[in-house]
Amino acid sequence: MNASAEPDELTTILTAALNSGLNDYGSQHGLPPLRWTLSSSELVDVEGAHPDAEYHPDAEPLIVRWAELLGAHELGDGEEDGSRMWDATVSGKINLSLFCITDREAHDRANAAWAN
């Protein structure tokens, strides 16, 4: 990779590699792919969601299966905001988060209340 690569180009390359690697791993365990994205804070955050939408009808069972495969633990119960989230830390440096919306209307209401 040349030194003049733009940050957006690098993000595209890293995201493609991340998606390919994690989805290949899931495929080896009989799971359909997720859409993986990168974000960062003190840890590198890798976020997994249904490839079509977090509120896709198949999102919850798919995310549950991925969470089980990755040994992730569920955060809260999500009933109030219509969502479920799981978290796992790899080697103390990479945080894997999995997210799905279980009730789109409740989730939209919770987001609207949070924004106010």
Residue 71 lies in a domain: yes
Q: Quick one: average pLDDT of 99-116? A: 88
pLDDT at residue 3 is higher than 60: no
How much helix, strand and coil, in percent to the nearest 5, is found in the chain?
40, 25, 35
Domain that holds residue 94: 7-115
Q: Average model confidence (pLDDT) for the chain? A: 85
Handedness of CA 49, 55, 57, 61 (dihedral sign): positive
As for how many domains the chain has, the answer is 1
Residues 6+ apart with CB under 8 A from 98: 34, 47, 48, 49, 63, 66, 67, 70, 72, 85, 86, 87
pLDDT at residue 96 is higher than 70: yes
pLDDT tens profile 62-90 = 999 999 998 899 998 767 789 999 998 88
Residue 2 lies in a domain: no
Q: Which tokens go with 62?
A: 């798919």
Q: What is the pLDDT of residue 7?
A: 53
Q: Which tokens go with 74?
A: 């569920």
Q: Residue 66 CB: number of other CB atoms within 10 A?
A: 25
What predicted TM-score, i.e. pTM, was given to this entire model?
Answer: 0.73
Q: What is the pLDDT of residue 39?
A: 76
Residue 1 lies in a domain: no
Q: What is the pLDDT of residue 42?
A: 74
Q: What is the pLDDT of residue 90?
A: 81
pLDDT at residue 1 is higher than 70: no
